[in-house]
Every structure is written in C-alpha cells, then in structure tokens.
Amino acid sequence: MEQTLVMIKPNGLTLKLVGEVISRFEKARLSLVKMELKSLSLQQASEFYQEHKGRDFYEPLIKFMTSGPIVALVVQGENAIAAVRAIAGATNPKDALPGTVRYDFAPNTRENILHASDSTKSAEREISFHFGKI
C-alpha cells in the first residue's frame, strides 16, 4: 500500500472543508493513517518549502502557510499519490477538472486548499517531516 502526505491549508480550515476533503479521499477507498491539526512556524514552513526558495511565490506562500492552522494527513491506498492528486486537481484551479477539490473551492494557485505529495520520494520526505518514521 502506498502512502502520501496531504496538508489542508489554512483557507481549507477557514472555509470548513476538512470533512469534505477527507470524505472525498474515503469515497475513493483511501484510508487515513495519521492526522494532526497543527500550526507551522516560519522555520517549519521555510524548511518544508525549501525547494521553492528564491522563486517569486516563495515568501507569499510561507506567509500564507503560517497564517493559520493546517491539517496534516497521511493517506494510504492503492496508487495513493496519483489518486490524491486526481482528487485534488491541478495546482492552478483554472486548470483543474470540475469535481476536484481545487476546481470546486480554491480561489487561486497559492491558496489552493491543499498540498499533495507529487512522488514517492516527496511523500517519504514530507511524511517524515510531519510525523517522523511511521
């Protein structure tokens, strides 16, 4: 079984979408392995998004991700990474398919409701970042 990390971003909590997002994963026969409501410090957000440092969206992203609590999830299932990314939709909501989380709820690319790991390597690093070895 494959595992992946999902972070429901601060606006996902503000818009009260946590249950909706989790429901979509469960309807796709994915399982929750771990879940934690937490706030990211500037240092944690900077470390998590270090690969984007120097890009024009980096500083606004860090500010957004530290603006309120997030929900970190470990989601598991057959082809979980691809399944979660399909449910999430394209990073830019304008490119997302109808019925995806980002198409349905995201106002823009930066505030696109959730983060989803894009590969096995990223999932391992990101799960470890939030939950340690599981």
16 DSSP assignment: T
Q: Under a CB-based contact definition with an 8 Å cutoff, are residues 72 and 7 in contact?
A: yes
Q: Exactly one of 85, 102, 115, 130 is catalytic; name it.
A: 115
Residue listed under structure tokens 């494959």: 2
- Give the C-alpha distances (Å, rounded to integers) separating 71 from 29, 78, 82, 91, 94: 20, 22, 20, 18, 24
Indicate if 115 belongs to the active site: yes
Instruction: Report the catalytic residues.
Output: 115
